[in-house]
Each structure stands twice: as structure tokens, then as C-alpha cells.
Structure 1
Amino acid sequence: MKIITSISIFIVVFILDQFIKYAFVYFGWGYEGSCLSFQLAYNYGVAFSMFSFLKEYLKYIQLFLVVGGLIYLYFNKEVLKEYALPISLLFAGGLSNILDRFTYGAVVDYIYWHCGFEFAIFNLADMIINLAVAIIIYKQIFTKKDQKN
């Protein structure tokens, strides 16, 4: 049952993120607010546009990392069982952003925070990836505490 739930979460997050990005690119979605705006932007790098000089190669580097992660999970099935939810979120967000690189030549970003300070433009996949990492860290901290007790 856990595998079906994880695959379902992966599919829903992946499709939702791709639909939103498609709408920004082809339907001209956008909104200008006082603190939060939704505007189309292309990120040729990774977080905060780092490594944008590798823009043509990043999709292959990231795909290689995903394959490496899948190989690791294949040989460490207990990790997959323990972290099924965050892994499904991590792969959904990561693969969605990688698909953007193949489809649009860059990652499609659209959420822009500019209230009090300006922050990088990001997307749903980025938030999902951060959520997955936070869940993994949380589980690591509290699993170790439980093991000590």
C-alpha cells in the first residue's frame, strides 16, 4: 500500500507542477502583488541561478544524479521503505525541473517574493524538493532520538 501511495503522490505533484509551468509559458498566467508576484522566468542554472554557465549540460548532470539515486535505492531498499514519502516528493520535483530543461531549455520559475526583501524566483517543484529535504532531516533527528531512548 505504501508504494501505491508514494507513486500516486509522485504522479500528482509531477503533473500539477508541469501543468502550472505550461500555463505560465503558453497561457500567459501572471499576477503582480505587493508582496508576492507570479511571473514567468527561466532559470538556466540551479538554485539562485548558480552554475548557469553549465546550462546545456545541467540536464544531463541532474539526470545522471537521479539515476545514481535510483541505483542507490535499488540496493538499499530499507531506505526506500523508511523514506518513501520524501523520496517520492524529491523525485517528483527534481524530475519535473529536469523535464523543463529538456522541454524549455531552462527551469520554468514563477513565484517571486518581494516584500521587505527580494528573494529568488522559484516554482512549486522547488518548494516540494525543500519539503522533502525537511522531512528527511526531521526523520533523521527524531529517529536518532528514539534509538537513544
Structure 2
Amino acid sequence: MNKKLKISIIIFFIIFVVDQVVKYGFANLGWDLDGPIMSLKLAYNYGVAFSMFSFLAENLKYIQLVIVIVGTIYLFKNKELFYKYYIPIAFLYAGGLSNILDRFTYGAVVDYFYWHYIFEFAIFNFADVIINCAVAIIIIIQIIDSRREKREKTDL
């Protein structure tokens, strides 16, 4: 098995398991905690970011699974893309599939980070943070590649 594939599988499992254990604690063990800046409070999100599309709550898990399957097929056909972005892809799959599992297990995504200092922000979870980190990594890689290409063109 390719080294990058092994690394991505390990990253996936670590993030996925940590996220599910934490969500289990909030959903079943009452891990809520109030703080002056941020609180840890159980909330269920029936939609996606900022509860958008919550009217699709019952079907959202199937729509998201189809998106993951289509993305996986695309990556199988474009393996060079996977090997270039294997770390953020592992992050995306771990966070995304963990949130999808929540929909099957709890009927909604388990959220618990609640920022309320100066302004109130949406409640989110570790998987959401990981997904955003993956997007940031992809953007950074794209910027680095773009700058390198510009440098190579000017050097010619």
C-alpha cells in the first residue's frame, strides 16, 4: 500500500474516532460546560452550515452520502489529485463522514462549541473545524503552486 494512502487512512481514523467519542460524550454523558467566552453545549443541527437546508433533514444524509460517493469515484479516476491533497482529503472525509454518521445515529449532527463573547456565532463541532482546516490547506497549496508557476514563467 502506498505511503500517502496509509498516512491518510491513519489520519482519517484518528480524527473520525476522536470526533465520534466527543460527540457521544455530549449526546449521552452531559458534557455541557458554560464559559465566559465559549461554552460547550449540546445542540443538534438538522441542516448544514448555519442550519441551512434543515427542511431536507430526513434526506440530507442520503444526499451527502451520494456526494461522498461521487467524490470518491472522481478521486479513483484522478489518483494524482488524491496524492497531491491526501492530507486535506483525509480531513474532509473524516469530518464529513463523521457528521453523516451523526445523522444516522442521532437524527442530526451533534454540535457543541458555542462562541458567545462580543458576538454570538453558530454552534459547531470538531468535525466542522477539521473540514475548514482541510479547505484552508487546499487553498494554501493552490496559492503556493500558483506562485511557483508564476516564478517559473518569469524565469524563462
Q: Normalization by structure 1: what TM-score?
A: 0.99
SS of 1:78 mapped into structure 2: helix
Identity %: 62
CA distance in 2, matches of 1:81, 1:2: 7
CA distance in 2, matches of 1:57, 1:2: 34
1:79 maps to 81
User: What is the deviation of 1:3?
Assistant: 1.4
Q: Normalization by structure 2: what TM-score?
A: 0.94
Structure 1 gap segments, 5+ residues each: none
Instruction: Check if 1:44 corresponds to 2:41.
Output: no
CA distance in 1, matches of 2:87, 2:125: 20
1:125 maps to 127
User: What is the deviation of 1:82?
Assistant: 0.1
1:67 maps to a residue whose letter is: I
SS of 1:39 mapped into structure 2: strand
User: What is the deviation of 1:148?
Assistant: 1.9
CA distance in 1, matches of 2:7, 2:77: 21
- The CA RMSD over aligned residues, in Å, is 0.5
Larger radius of gyration: 2
CA distance in 2, matches of 1:26, 1:50: 25
User: What is the deviation of 1:141?
Assistant: 1.1
Structure 2 gap segments, 5+ residues each: 152-156
2:107 maps to 105
What count of residue pairs does the alignment treat as equivalent?
149
1:145 maps to 147
CA distance in 2, matches of 1:148, 1:86: 24
User: What is the deviation of 1:2?
Assistant: 1.6
CA distance in 2, matches of 1:147, 1:78: 18
